[in-house]
Structure 1
Amino acid sequence: MFVGSPLRAAMERTQELYSNDEQSIEENLPAQEEMNTTVEIESSSIPQSKNHKRWLHISIYVFFVLSCQALATILGRLYYENGGKSTWMGTLVQLIGFPVLFLFRFFSQIKAPKSTDTTTSIQFPSFTTLGSVYIITGLLVSANSYMSSIGLLYLPVSTFSLILASQLAFTAFFSYFLNSQKFTPFIVNSLFLLTISSALLVVNTESQNTTNVSRVKYVIGIICTIGASAGIGLLLSLVQLILRKVLKKHTISTVMDLVAYQSLVASCVVLIGLFASGEWNTLTSEMRSYKLGKAPYVMTLVSIAISWQVYTIGVVGLIFESSSVFSNSITAVGLPIVPVVAVIVFHDKMNASKTFSIILAMWGFISFVYQHYLDEKKISHTNPVEVTRLPVEEGHRDIQIV
């Protein structure tokens, strides 16, 4: 009897403790479920926030490309229309504004948070490798700029801008070999529409716009513009390859360095050409005889320089965030805008073919963006936690905005 009582008491005590534990677990279960739900919401909202931030960057780059491309082209033609004759000066102002890129890089580093990740070590390219990259791309940039300067001198604005839109086809061609670019039906549709849009305006260019230019110079302008278009397509694809294979530290600082130093090399090459050709001797008389005056002459050249550098930031930024084909599609969309601006500035006629060309260009742009939307939607269903980038290029590694 006395032995059973302590045993019974111990069993009752154990049962009481077990009951209390079950009650405690049941009471804490709703709180635990709420905590798990909160963690899931927070973890899913972080990638969504990063994705929205990325689309914001893309929107800013698109604005840079569309606005500054039209502005720089119109100002370049304004320079020639009012007495400017130096093709080397017209080339130099496309490049000499590269210090703006260093300023942009400086402020981006101030605003960016310091990275504390020390787990990953990326081997930075050697000085020789970087120097070779800057020299090769710089030489290509200088050649493209000089050919486009000649084309803008001898061709009407609409003809020049819309022949230049053929760079989209050249970029697709070079990206196929250099970057293994894959084409979906929507991308092919976009390329087709943008190419037809450009070709339509070139074919229907009014002949009276070139009455003050000889036939030989007109043909030279077309050849140089096509050459510049091919060179730009090669450059965009090459830059994408360099960012992926050579400059593996994907930051805004890296991109700005690439663009700034290649512009520095190109500016030096063009300066040599300016002095070697003897055109620098005529710049003083050119400024004095400029129809709009000396101050507008200087302001025109300065504005061209700044506009082209902001445009360059947009182009490389789109390559950085997406692909060279997408970047070139935005460029092709912007080229039909130039004739519209030319109607206002130079009083050109807006005919039905120009209007239809712009509609085709916008259709092609929408087709390309829709393909990006489908790719992103597909990835989000496959892996909803880690959707933080546009799924355009294979091998496109994590990108930091620094």
Structure 2
Amino acid sequence: MAQNQQPIFQTKPQEHLVQIPLNIERDSTTLINQTGNSNRKQNHWPTIILSIIFVIVGQTIAKLLENFYYDKINRSEYNENRQNDGIWTQALLQTVGFPLLLLPFIILTKKHNHHEPPVTYHYKSLAIIYICIGIIMSVQGRLAAMGKLDIPFGVFTLIYTTQLFFTPLFARFINKIKFNRWVVISLIFAIITGALTLSSSFGGEPDEAEQNYPSGSWAALFAGVCFALLLCNIQNVLDNYIFKRTESTVRKPSFASVFEVLIFSSLVATIISVVGLLIAGEQDDLKREMNEFSKGKGSYVMAMVGQAVSWQVYWVGIVGLIFSVSSVLSNVISVITWPIVSVLVVIFFNYMDDEFDVFKGIALITAVLSAAAYFFRLHKENRDSFVMPN
């Protein structure tokens, strides 16, 4: 009897040891591939760096062009009936440029499309999920655009920063992410960074007669909630659907999955925004704005096209960070970019009472500290991952 039981006690611990690293990788979102494929580690840091560059460049240019747009459409001449003109247009600009992603998506898909295991169960589920993500994207864009036009930009920024509270909360329950002290420290510095950008100016900021605190405050709050929910749901799609395609192969997950998520979700969001734009009659506003744009029709078209392109660069970076690490890091990098935008607005636009003050300076410092804390956590996990298998 003792000899017959011997193999049982030998095999049980081995199965247990195989499963523990996989659970740690998926729950803590370490540098190790969440599907258990160690090949993903090789391209991890380059992908992170490239994605961060996309977020900074995309968001900065998009925000500067948005300020340029509002500054040159003579918004001061608007009456209260035109208070929320263009909110569907701004939501549309965030997603309408998705056809630009088709070429890199096709190239990367063809490059990694060999030895794909047959998968039949996930297409219907993915279609439903992409529709849901697209709805959240369009709602978030509209709410953010409305909030900025109803309340002072400093108040909007403070409320919108609450996304840094909601993202870790959703990530804990949706993505099963566990947090250590370095992530908490990074989030604290990111929250301080977002809050300190309250002194920033915005070209479409309403005057006292136009301010609508109830609607603007709720719009800013729910825009932050939607953005946090959007990031966590994108990570859920990557973890539980797209990455599973490569679990039975030796291939690492391709960056093409980033473009896949964006293309199909943005298609849905674009359709919703176009329908909303037509129902609101904003197509007539676009014609009037183009004709009355103080810098001419050509500058108006370039500002709008530039925003559409820049937002796509931004989204590739955001989803790229989710692909590489987690929704939490993606949100942190997005928020700590705000001080860069606020400083550049001071440089390129001459808004009244807007200058490089102590708040903007401290915000830049806390942004660096937030990024440093998260990167130290990633470096530590990367180092520990080489020791873990032993």
Output the CA distance in 1 between the equivalents of 2:160 and 2:90. Answer: 17
Q: Give RMSD over aligned pairs.
A: 2.7
Cα deviation, residue 218, structure 1: 5.0
Structure 2 equivalent of residue 74 of structure 1 = 64
Alignment of 1:19-168 (within 5 A): 51-83=41-73, 85-109=85-109, 112=111, 115=114, 117=115, 121=117, 123-154=119-150, 160=156, 163-168=159-164
Alignment CA distance shift 1:158-1:340 (3 Å):
farther
Cα deviation, residue 363, structure 1: 0.5
Cα deviation digits, residues 105-132 of structure 1 (max 9, x gap):
123346x3664x47xx352444432221
Cα deviation, residue 318, structure 1: 0.8
Cα deviation digits, residues 71-90 of structure 1 (max 9, x gap):
11121222122117422212
Structure 2 equivalent of residue 352 of structure 1 = 358
Q: Identity of paired residues, percent? A: 30
SS of residue paired to 1:336: helix
Match of 1:170 among 156, 166, 170: 166
Cα deviation digits, residues 343-401 of structure 1 (max 9, x gap):
112233111122112211210110011011111111112337xxxxxxxxxxxxxxxxx
Structure 2 equivalent of residue 236 of structure 1 = 231
Whether the 8 Å CA contact 2:149–2:216 is kept in 1: the answer is yes
Q: What letter corresponds to residue 369 of structure 1 in structure 2?
A: F
- Whether 1:277 aligns to 2:280 is yes
The 10-residue stretch of structure 1 (293-302 or 193-202) with the greater mean CA deviation from structure 2? 193-202
Whether the 8 Å CA contact 1:76–1:152 is kept in 2: the answer is no
Output the CA distance in 2 between the equivalents of 1:137 and 1:210. Answer: 29
- Whether 1:379 aligns to 2:385 is yes
Alignment CA distance shift 1:69-1:125 (3 Å):
farther
SS of residue paired to 1:246: helix
Output the CA distance in 1 between the equivalents of 2:386 and 2:152. Answer: 46
Whether the 8 Å CA contact 2:143–2:223 is kept in 1: the answer is yes
Output the CA distance in 2 between the equivalents of 1:95 and 1:50. Answer: 29
Output the CA distance in 2 between the equivalents of 1:378 and 1:344. Answer: 44
Q: What letter corresponds to residue 200 of structure 1 in structure 2?
A: L
Structure 2 equivalent of residue 320 of structure 1 = 323
Cα deviation, residue 215, structure 1: 6.1
Output the CA distance in 1 between the equivalents of 2:121 and 2:317. Answer: 25
Output the CA distance in 1 between the equivalents of 2:127 and 2:282. Answer: 30
Cα deviation digits, residues 262-319 of structure 1 (max 9, x gap):
1111111111111111221232122100111100111100000011011111111110
Whether the 8 Å CA contact 1:154–1:213 is kept in 2: the answer is no
Output the CA distance in 2 between the equivalents of 1:268 and 1:144. Answer: 15
The 10-residue stretch of structure 1 (160-169 or 131-140) with the greater mean CA deviation from structure 2? 160-169
Cα deviation, residue 342, structure 1: 0.9
Q: What letter corresponds to residue 82 of structure 1 in structure 2?
A: K
Structure 2 equivalent of residue 226 of structure 1 = 221
State the number of aligned residues. 333
Unaligned runs of 5+ in 1: 1-46, 385-402
Alignment CA distance shift 1:225-1:261 (3 Å):
same
Cα deviation digits, residues 38-79 of structure 1 (max 9, x gap):
xxxxxxxxx999645321121111100011111111212221
Cα deviation, residue 233, structure 1: 0.4
Alignment CA distance shift 1:129-1:155 (3 Å):
same
Q: What letter corresponds to residue 378 of structure 2 in structure 1?
A: H
Structure 2 equivalent of residue 341 of structure 1 = 344
Structure 2 equivalent of residue 22 of structure 1 = none
Structure 1 equivalent of residue 7 of structure 2 = none
Q: What letter corresponds to residue 327 of structure 2 in structure 1?
A: S
Q: What letter corresponds to residue 75 of structure 1 in structure 2?
A: L
Whether the 8 Å CA contact 1:157–1:339 is kept in 2: the answer is no
SS of residue paired to 1:292: coil
